[in-house]
């Protein structure tokens, strides 16, 4: 199937999600997920953090509001979305390429936590 790649990642929120609204009052949230590689060092018996990837994520509408109301810095999450790469010239005239994730689904990871799910009752909005 053609199109941009869909990814699923597990990682940790590096800060609280930032909820904003467009000029037309459409809610969106931005957050960064840190995904790192860990290995067990048999010599020390300790887990060692290796390379990390920091992926900037954006979610829209009801999903954005639910993320902002539910998740905070340090929470481990599972994120699914479309990987997008864009190029632009910064204020100094340098060409910059960034990779972002347009989020389609988010869930709290239950690997090291428990959650209590409350069904949202948002009326009048299309998800």
Residue 1 lies in a domain: no
Residue 16 lies in a domain: yes
Residue 117 lies in a domain: no
* Mean pLDDT score, 20-32: 97
How far apart CA 82 and CA 8 sit, in angstroms, is 9
* Mean pLDDT score, 48-75: 94
Of all residues in the chain, what percent carry a pLDDT higher than 70? 94
Residue 95 lies in a domain: yes
Q: Is the sign of the CA dihedral 5, 50, 35, 115 positive or negative? A: positive
Q: Give 67: exposed, middle or buried? Use CB within 10 Å, 0-12, 13-18, 19+.
A: buried
Reported confidence tier of residue 44, pLDDT bands at 50, 70, 90? very high
**pLDDT the model gives residue 118:** 86
Residue 116 lies in a domain: no
Reported confidence tier of residue 38, pLDDT bands at 50, 70, 90? confident
Reported confidence tier of residue 125, pLDDT bands at 50, 70, 90? low
Helices (H), the chain: 61-70
Residue 60 lies in a domain: yes
How far apart CA 111 and CA 91 sit, in angstroms, is 42
Of all residues in the chain, what percent carry a pLDDT higher than 90? 76
Residue 102 lies in a domain: yes
In total, how many domains does the chain have? Answer: 1
Residue 55 lies in a domain: yes
Give me the domain span that covers residue 79: 6-108
Domain harbouring 27, CATH code: 2.40.50.140
């Amino acid at each position: 199937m053609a199109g941009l790649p869909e990814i699923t990642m597990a990682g940790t929120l590096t800060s609280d999600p930032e909820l904003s609204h467009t000029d037309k009052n459409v809610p969106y949230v931005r957050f960064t997920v840190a995904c790192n590689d860990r290995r067990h060092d048999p010599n020390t018996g300790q887990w060692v953090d290796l390379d990390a990837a920091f992926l900037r994520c954006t979610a829209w509408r009801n999903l954005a509001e639910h993320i902002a109301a539910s998740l905070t810095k340090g929470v481990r999450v599972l994120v699914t979305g479309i990987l997008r790469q864009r190029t632009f010239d910064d204020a100094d005239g340098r060409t910059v390429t960034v990779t972002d994730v347009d989020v389609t689904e988010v869930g709290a990871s239950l690997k090291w936590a428990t959650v209590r799910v409350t069904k949202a009752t948002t009326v009048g909005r299309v998800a």
